[in-house]
């Protein structure tokens, strides 16, 4: 189940808790201005859902790792990211951050000769 939250600007709702719920289920949080409520709802409903229960997986080279991701979304070595989205539209965007693993970790890898590495493929 995907939970989307629509809140009216100026309304006293617990947006921090509600946004966590939306994030955990792959939903969205929208805050709308009460003076443009009709227009905002029309825009939200105009974008058709093109897929449901979407999961994206990204695999990085073993010398790279994902950054700023929930532990539940990445593998133990931080080189595989699996993120679940509820419903997606043609405007859904999927972003992530990655970087090189610490040199101390790279030097421990027996199948990676750091004296010959000039770059990591992506």
Residue 4 has pLDDT above 80, yes or no: no
pLDDT recorded at residue 122:
73
| Average pLDDT rounded to a whole number, residues 43-53 | 79
Q: What is the mean pLDDT of the chain?
A: 82
Neighbours of 93 (CB within 10 A): 5
| Predicted model pTM | 0.59
């Amino acid at each position: 189940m995907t939970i989307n939250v629509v809140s009216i600007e100026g309304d006293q709702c617990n947006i921090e808790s509600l946004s966590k719920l939306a994030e955990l289920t792959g939903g969205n949080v929208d805050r709308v201005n009460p003076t443009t409520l009709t227009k905002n709802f029309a825009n939200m409903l105009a974008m058709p859902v093109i897929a449901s229960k979407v999961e994206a997986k990204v695999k990085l080279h073993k010398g790279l790792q994902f950054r700023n991701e929930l532990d539940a979304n990445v593998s133990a070595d931080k080189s595989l990211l699996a993120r679940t989205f509820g419903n997606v539209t043609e405007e859904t965007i999927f972003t992530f951050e990655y970087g090189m693993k610490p040199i101390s970790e790279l030097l421990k890898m027996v199948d990676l000769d750091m004296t010959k590495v000039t770059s990591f493929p992506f």
